[in-house]
Structure formats: C-alpha cells, structure tokens
Structure 1
Amino acid sequence: MSFRWVAGRIALAMLLAAGAQSTQAADFVDSAQRRVMLPERIGRVMPAGPTAEVLVFALAPDKLIGWTRPLSAAQQRFLPAKAAHLPVIGRLSGPYPTAGLDALRRLRPDVIVDAGPISAERSGFADAIQRQSGIPYIFVDDSIERMPLILRSLGTVLGVGDRAEDLAIYAEHAIDALRGRLLIRPPNERPKVYYGRRPDGLETALPGSPANEEIDEGGVINVAAGLGRDGRIAITPAQLRAWDPNIIIAEDRPFYDSLLHDPIWRTLDAVRYKRVYLAPSLPFGWIDDPPGVNRLIGLYWLSTVFYPDMTQEDLRTQVKEFYDKFYGDKLTDAQVESLMRYAEAKAGETRRVGGEPLVGIGAALPTPVPGPGGVGTGPAPNTGLGGLGLGPPGRRVPTGGMVPLAPPTPLH
C-alpha cells in the first residue's frame, strides 16, 4: 500500500467529515480556500471553461450540461454519442468569455465548476459570479500533482465517489509511472526538449505554466527555460536552431510537416535523428488544450517519447484503457492507430546527451541563469501541496536553462 494512496484516503476522509458531499446541504472549501454552500442535490453542472468541462465530463458525464466551445467533427468521433451532441453553452471564465449572467439564468445549473491555477483575480471572479447569480461556484486547482485529490473531492461533491476513486487511482499510477522511470534514469541521459505551439511552432510554453506542466513532470531540459517562467512566449527560428533540441514535440500538424520537409530545420538534432513527434489532440490534447485531466494519458505517452528504451507497458493498451475509463469510449484499433501515427517513439531511439542542467521532478538542481552583473538566480522554492486544506495553493515552478539569443516576445 503506497504512502500516496494512504494520504489520499486521509484527505478524502477529512473532506467528508467537513461536509463535502452532495446528498445534503453542506459547506465545501475549494482550492482557493473559499467556503461554498452546496445544494442538497446536484444534477446540473456548468463548467466555467474548457479545463473544467473535461473534469466534469470524466467524473459525471450525465451531469454536464454542455460544452464551453464547439466540438469539431473529429473530436465528436472520439466521444460517446450523447456527450458528442451536448449543446454549446459558452465559456464563463478566462480571457475571452462567451457566456454571462443571462446564460446562467437560462441554463439554471445547480453548481458551477471552474478549474485551473489559483489566483486572487480568479478567486474574486468566482465570488462575484456566485454573489450575482446565487449559484454555488467551486474553483479547483487541477494541477497534475493535485489531480488525484481533486478527482476524489469533486467526485464526492457530485455524488460519484466510487467512480472518482477509480479515476484517482489511475491518476496516481500515471504520475508514479513517469516519476519512477525518471528516478532510474542517469542525469546525463535526459534530453533537451522543445514544445512548439501554433501552426508555425514558434510559440512555446515556459516552465511552471499549465501548458508545460506535463513536460516539467518528465524531468527533461526545457530549452526555453532561460526565457522566464509561467505563460507562453514567442521565439525566432534562429533561437530554435541555436538550442538544437534532442526532441521536438509539435502541437499542430503544419509545424510537424515543416520540421520534416523545410530545409531551415534540417540541421536540428531532433530532425536528423527522427525524434520529432506530433502531440495527439483528440478529443482533447495530451499535453494541454486544455491543461486538465486529459493530460494523464500524456504522462504515459511522454515517458515513451523521452525514455523509449525504458518503456515496458504497451502504450496502445494504456490508450484504450484511458479512453474507456475517462471518456466512456471504447476505441477501435484503427482509432488508436490514427492517434499514434505521428506520435509514437520506438525503442532504441534514445541518444546519450551529457552534461546538461535538468528541469523537473527528480532532476538535479538547475544551473543558475546569469543575471545582471553575473549573479545567478537559484531555483524557485516548492510551495508544496495547496488547496483543500493541504497547504498554500500554487503550481510548482522549475527553473534553469539557457540565456536567450534575442529578447523574446511575451504573449498576453
């Protein structure tokens, strides 16, 4: 019996003792330390954004009242028919909201669920919507480390405790599988990785950002780490060529095709040794888009990409199990092949890379990035577990990496 399992059960017992259940009116303390009064019964759940919609769909698909954005035909093919045809209700939170109080009055949800990094601004927004609408608004931090606890606690709130426990155990195994593989990997054999976003691939996620959290977990070297932390940033082709990563992961197909065929990239180590991968994205992304529970299968996938010669389990079997367990969709062999066609690593592809600083769980302390006057900046402290009574909220932010060749362009 693992310590993680015992800790999770203790935390769940504390939540239950505090009244976090859906069969009777009760107070619930969310990840932002907000005390929310829940209704006696919860039958209709409105997600505030894409991350929350996947979380609610995985736990209680029959209670999800709709999607925050339209699903593509390709996404619908990887979902059960009932879920695929839920209405589009709009996005309540985030930078580009498409729903407001009018939508809440029309849809009449029993509770609103939001998910993502905790901040005073987002917590204040939740308070304002709850006050103006009279609808309970739960805000949870579903970062990877907290995912098992969030699944258990929110599952209890939604009245699906047994299902939540099953999903939480899966999440624990996925997290432990990658970390266990990392711990036995020699530090000088961890690769330099670039994650290219957008069709041109010239946007990347920085350490500590939700979009990069899964790569942080892999303990690899994020070549863009020297550009800062949190959020996303635009780079130049010259910067990517200078970094010369061992592995490149493309979010979009056009960048993947460009890496294989455009002469501008032919000298890159990742291109020369065929370690270029297209991140699967159906029905939801395996790295982000959104950065929610959909990333759990990505932990298994990235372990095969980063450390292919150490992979023992059959990734295709894991994919089928995850889609069945979390999405209620039994994939055909053809569907699995379509997901893996441009994403699969092969055993024996690993090349030794030595003497590099490391970033992520289980990594050695990163080499400081020179600051003004040559003074280095050390690693950020680990804030520990937060939210739901387990300490201060906030995502882990690894540091270290390379100094940029040119001033990057922040994305707002």
Structure 2
Amino acid sequence: MPPRSPIAFMTVLFLVLLAGTGRAAGFVDAAERYVAVPDRIGRVMTANPAADVLVFVLAPEKLMGWSVPLSRGQRAYIPANFARLPITGGAVRPSSAETAQTVARMRPDLIIEAGPVTPEAAARAEQVQQQTGVPYLVLDNGIQATPHNLRIIGALLGASERGNDLALYADHAIDALRGRLLIAPADERPIVYYGRGPDGLETGLGGSQAMAAIEQAGVINVAARFGRGELTRVTRDHVVDWNPAIIIAQQRSFYDALLRSTAWRGLIAVASKRVYLAPADPFGWIDEPPGVNRIIGLYWLTSLFYPDQYQEDLRTNAREFYDKFYRIKLTDRQVEALVRPAESRAGETRRIGVPLLGAEPVPFPNVAPNAPLPSGRPPGRGGVGAPGLPNLPAVPGNPP
C-alpha cells in the first residue's frame, strides 16, 4: 500500500491532541468553511443517508437517528439497538426553518452532511448553523475521499483508532482496484448499464453519484452519452440499442424481468447470463446511499468486470466487511442472500477498445476526448486548526 500523506496524519494527530484541552477545534470542511466544533461530541445529527452510514460505522452510539426510515430488510443487517433509532428526517429539506426547528428539538452537538460539495450545500449548512448555533460540516462523499473522511470524522468523534482501521481497509480496496485496472487489457473494459427502480429504466449519467462506484472501476457507462449530471429516465429501446455487455439491476423486479421476460431476451448481457442484482442490505453496494457502504462494492464490481484479475473470495470479503464496518457477523443464509444473485459467472467481457486510464472513469467512445467538464465545485480541504493556535496546512478533501 502507498504511504499515507504526512499532512493528513499530522492533521488527525492534531485533532487527537486537541481533545481534552477544553477548547473548540477549528475544522475547515470540504466547502472551505471554517467551523468551530466542540472538543467533546456526544450527539450527532446526520443530514442525509450517506452521513448516516459514516457516523454509524464510526461511532453508532453517537448517532441520534436515521435521516430516512430503514426497511425491514435493512434492519435485519443492523444490530437491533441501532436499528431501532428514531427517524430524524435529516437536514436537507426545502425549508431551512423546518430544519432549524428539528435541530432545536433534538439539540445535537454536531450536524454532518456527506454529498456533492456545491454552493447550495455550503449555503444550506451556513444558514442552519447561523439559525441554530450548531456546527454543521459538509463533507465530500466521493469514493476517493472515503479514507480521509473516516480518519478525520473518526478523530472528531473520539474514535481515532477505529477511523484509522476502517480507512486502511478503504485504502486497500481503492488501491486494489487501481492495481487491477493497470493490468487489465484496455480492450476488455465492458460496457455496463445500471438499471435503477422497479422497471430498471432510471440510470445515472456520467459523473453521477449513482454511477461513481461503477465508473471508478474504469468501465463504460452506456448512459454517459447523454451527458453529465445525476439521474435520468431512459426507454427500453435505449437499452436495447446500447446492448450492454453487463447489466446490473438495483431492484429485484427488474432483475427478474431481465431473466424471464421475452422483451429483454435479445440482449447480449441476458444471453450470456451477465445480469446481476446489486446487494442492498443494509446499504447498497453501488449507491443508496452513495457513502462508505460502496467500499465493499469495489471488490464486487472488480469480480464482475475483471474476473481474470480477481482471485479473492467474494463471500469472505463480504463477511469481513460486514463484521468490520457494520459489527455484524453474517450467517450463511445472509451471505447467500446477498451474494448469489450478484456473483460473477463464467464468461468473457466484451472487447471494446478504449484507452487505459488507471482508476479514472472511462469516457464513452463517442464523446469528444477534450470536451470540457463542468467545474465550480470548491475543492474540499478538511484541515483543522484552533483559535489562538497556529493553523496546520490544509488537507485535501479528495486525497490521492
């Protein structure tokens, strides 16, 4: 594994040393907002589901509740005392006044949001913080930022050792995928369709949160030809015309339709049995939410896209991840329920002749190679400092 950034290490160490001094620590979040956070944090309100998962895996005893309701299937994979936490509704709401009322009622020590770092997210955080006096952090939920977030938020929540342990696991998963991409032949990157929703006709555009794990694996997202953004609706004719080599279904209804309906029978992915159901409990392996939960998805997607380079046992990886991150020891029945509809079968990926780009998403061949990408997202720093003390150098919010 590559050595960790010394600046990131010093930043986490500084947070640890600062705890217990009786002073608030200054935290520069991913939106480049300086936020004073208390040195002892006992109650954390999460603004959205990605933040739910982050706090849950680090310090579940400090999670005040879930931002959205959990399904029965999700609760079966979460320790009972945490599965029964109340529903807070989160902090990402149309009305800031409604959010402020909820915060005032719950009285958290800290609010955390994990998502795209946009001017809207920064403005929302600043407004809620000014209205309530509760510090509100905005974190970049990009996959590459996951180890950094685990370390920094782990230190803030008094769980530095656990944060570092989980971050090392995430680092290894990301680095392992990068290593496999470097040896995978460039013309064996498969064309992939990810079908969301009951009918499978919702998908993610290029650069979307929904496609981040898939694009991280260096394959071609067929919907990227529609441009960059978040989610979009497509038609069955679109999918038929694209004729992807691999189809991943978010929900079982679409998965079953692919296997049983004559409407999909002519697709290469269906004929070659390269149709998979994305594991979803307690949190999705691709998205839902786009958070820390995607780390196990990197191992899974590697096994689907590059079976010749994947020599590990997916069931063993799943057991280890669920034990380490969710504190649950999977039964054999639970493992099979997760893995069997998702596991790779024998077969060759479609040869497609695209450039080798390491761990970066591969552009669709029809897109101009030098087309400008949208910008405007402020780079997250995630550095910390303290009033009256010298500030440490800023830490990249999206570490290499």
TM-score by length of 1: 0.87
Tell me, in whole angstroms, the C-alpha distance in 1 between the residues paired with 2:380 and 2:372: 19
Counterpart contact for 1:90–1:99, Cα < 8 Å: no
Tell me, in whole angstroms, the C-alpha distance in 1 between the residues paired with 2:201 and 2:97: 28
Counterpart contact for 1:21–1:157, Cα < 8 Å: no
Q: CA deviation at 1:170?
A: 0.3
Percent of pairs with identical residues: 50
Matching residue of 1:179: 178
| Aligned: 1:103 with 2:102 | yes
Matching residue of 1:141: 140
Tell me, in whole angstroms, the C-alpha distance in 2 between the residues paired with 1:48 and 1:363: 28
Counterpart contact for 2:32–2:379, Cα < 8 Å: no
* Greater than 4 Å deviation, 4+ residue runs: 18-22, 94-99, 356-360, 362-366, 381-385, 389-396
| Aligned: 1:12 with 2:5 | no
User: Are the structure 2 counterparts of residues 246 and 279 from structure 1 closer, same or farther at C-alpha, using a change threshold of 3 Å?
Assistant: same
Out of 370, 378, 387, the position equivalent to 2:371 is 378
The code of the aligned residue for 1:353 comes to: R
Aligned-partner SS, 2:113: strand
Counterpart contact for 1:226–1:369, Cα < 8 Å: yes
| Aligned: 1:354 with 2:352 | yes
Counterpart contact for 1:31–1:386, Cα < 8 Å: yes
Counterpart contact for 2:147–2:168, Cα < 8 Å: yes
Tell me, in whole angstroms, the C-alpha distance in 2 between the residues paired with 1:261 and 1:174: 34
User: Are the structure 2 counterparts of residues 388 and 236 from structure 1 closer, same or farther at C-alpha, using a change threshold of 3 Å?
Assistant: same
CA offset digits 1:27-49 (Å, max 9, x no partner) = 11111111111123100000011
The code of the aligned residue for 1:284 comes to: F
Tell me, in whole angstroms, the C-alpha distance in 2 between the residues paired with 1:94 and 1:360: 38
User: Are the structure 2 counterparts of residues 171 and 94 from structure 1 closer, same or farther at C-alpha, using a change threshold of 3 Å?
Assistant: farther
| Aligned: 1:226 with 2:220 | no
CA offset digits 1:340-369 (Å, max 9, x no partner) = 1211113x3223413346787257776452
CA offset digits 1:289-339 (Å, max 9, x no partner) = 000001000000100111123211111111011111111111111111111
CA offset digits 1:153-181 (Å, max 9, x no partner) = 11111111000000000000111111111
Counterpart contact for 1:357–1:367, Cα < 8 Å: no
Matching residue of 1:403: none
Structure 1: runs of 5+ lacking an equivalent: 371-375, 397-412
CA RMSD of aligned residues (A): 2.6
Matching residue of 2:82: 83
Q: CA deviation at 1:188?
A: 0.6
Aligned-partner SS, 1:209: coil
The code of the aligned residue for 1:212 comes to: M
Matching residue of 2:45: 46
| Aligned: 1:69 with 2:68 | yes
Aligned-partner SS, 2:259: helix
User: Are the structure 2 counterparts of residues 313 and 165 from structure 1 closer, same or farther at C-alpha, using a change threshold of 3 Å?
Assistant: same
Counterpart contact for 1:359–1:366, Cα < 8 Å: no
CA offset digits 1:212-266 (Å, max 9, x no partner) = 1101111001111110012111111111111100000001111111111111111
Tell me, in whole angstroms, the C-alpha distance in 2 between the residues paired with 1:95 and 1:358: 42
CA offset digits 1:382-402 (Å, max 9, x no partner) = 999743256886899xxxxxx
CA offset digits 1:171-214 (Å, max 9, x no partner) = 00111111111111101111100000111111110121111110
Q: CA deviation at 1:150?
A: 1.1
Greater relative contact order (Cα < 8 A, sep 6+): 2
Counterpart contact for 2:315–2:335, Cα < 8 Å: yes
Structure 2: runs of 5+ lacking an equivalent: 384-393
Tell me, in whole angstroms, the C-alpha distance in 1 between the residues paired with 2:64 and 2:77: 19
The code of the aligned residue for 2:11 comes to: M
User: Are the structure 2 counterparts of residues 69 and 148 from structure 1 closer, same or farther at C-alpha, using a change threshold of 3 Å?
Assistant: same
Q: CA deviation at 1:15?
A: 4.9
Matching residue of 1:407: none
Tell me, in whole angstroms, the C-alpha distance in 1 between the residues paired with 2:290 and 2:130: 28
Tell me, in whole angstroms, the C-alpha distance in 1 between the residues paired with 2:296 and 2:332: 17
